[in-house]
């Protein structure tokens, strides 16, 4: 999902709508923080790992991302 897609979705919500994320093993959790980060990927990984990873400092192909932390 790109920022413009998220913005379009958020603009349609009641401002009092709760934003949640998937829980670790099930159910749902609150978002406790949001931050801009840079990642590398996507990579082919086992289903239980994410497709994106932290990049080395000297990596030239970093992707700007917005992380919602739970």
- Please report, for the chain, the start and end positions of each structural domain, with discontinuous segments joined by +: 35-70
Give the number of C-alpha atoms closer than 13 A to the C-alpha of residue 62, restricted to the C-beta side.
14
Give Cα 36 to chain centroid, integer Å. Answer: 9
Using CB atoms within 10 Å of the CB of residue 57, give its burial: 0 to 12 exposed, 13 to 18 middle, 19+ buried: exposed
What string of DSSP letters covers 19-55?
PEEE-SSSSEEE--EEEEEEEE------TTS-S-EEP
pLDDT tens column, 21-36 = 988 888 999 999 999 9
Express each pLDDT in 37-70 by its tens digit.
999 999 999 988 999 999 999 999 999 999 999 8
pTM for the whole structure: 0.77
């Amino acid at each position: 999902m790109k920022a413009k897609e998220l913005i379009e979705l958020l603009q349609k919500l009641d401002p009092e709508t709760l934003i949640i994320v998937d829980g670790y093993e099930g159910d749902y959790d609150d978002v406790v923080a949001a931050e801009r980060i840079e990642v590398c990927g996507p990579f082919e990984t086992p289903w239980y790992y994410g497709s994106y990873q932290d990049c080395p400092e000297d990596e030239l192909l970093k992707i700007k991302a917005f992380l919602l932390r739970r």
